[in-house]
Amino acid sequence: MIEIKTDRLILKKPKSKQDILSIVSQIGDWEVVKWLAMVPYPYTYNDCESYLKESNNNELALNIFLDNQLIGGVGLHLHNDNYYELGYWLGKDYWGKGYATESSKYLLEYALGKLDSPKIKSGYFIDNLPSGNVLKKLGFKEIGIEKRYSDSMKKEMDMMKVIL
C-alpha cells in the first residue's frame, strides 16, 4: 500500500474503525458534503464502508493524515472517458491552511510519475470559490460549465469543468 509524504501531511489508506468514524463525521458535515457531487447526505457508516470497499483496489484514492489524525480525502478516479478525475475534501477544522492544494499536488506528481501520460480533469460547483482557487493553483484550466447531479443536494447544479 502506498504512502505519500508531503511537506506536512501523509496520504494513505484508512485502516481503523476510528478512521472510518472520522471520515463519517467530517464528510457528513453539511458544509463539506454539499460541495461534493457523489456523496449522499446524511452520510452513514455503511456508506463509508461501501465506498472504501469499492475504492480499495484504486491506489490513487487516499485519505489525508496530519499527525496521525485523519483530516480529509484526496483521490484520482478513472472514468469511462479515460480521464482521471481529481477530488478532495477536508474536515472543516482544517480549511484555509493550504492542505487541499498540498495533498493534490503530491498525489498528481505521484500519478504523473507512475501513469503513462494520464489525462486529468476535475470540476467544482460554481459557488465553491475555495475549490476553484485550489484547482487554479494546481494549474488546471477552466473549459466550461455543465450540469452535474449532486447526490447531497439531490438536484442538478452548475459545475465548472477543468482539465490539467
Ligand X SMILES: CC(C)(COP(=O)(O)OP(=O)(O)OC[C@H]1O[C@@H](n2cnc3c(N)ncnc32)[C@H](O)[C@@H]1OP(=O)(O)O)[C@@H](O)C(=O)NCCC(=O)NCCS
Closer by beta carbon to ligand X, 109 or else 114: 109
Considering only residues 24 through 53, tell me which ones interact with ligand X, judged by CB under 6 A: 32, 35-36
The nearest distance, CB 15 to ligand X, in angstroms, is 22
The nearest distance, CB 147 to ligand X, in angstroms, is 15
Cell of 23: 471520515
Considering only residues 74 through 133, tell me which ones interact with ligand X, judged by CB under 6 A: 88-90, 95-101, 124, 128-131, 133
The nearest distance, CB 60 to ligand X, in angstroms, is 16
Residues 6+ apart with CB under 8 A from 10: 3, 4, 64, 65
Strand 141-150 relative to strand 119-125: parallel, antiparallel, unpaired? Answer: unpaired
The nearest distance, CB 66 to ligand X, in angstroms, is 11
State the DSSP string of 15-55. -SHHHHHHHHHHHTSHHHHTT-TT--SS--HHHHHHHHHHG
Q: In terms of Cα–Cα distance, which of 79, 70, 152, 151 is closest to 122?
A: 79
**Contacts to ligand X by CB under 6 A:** 32, 35-36, 88-90, 95-101, 124, 128-131, 133-134
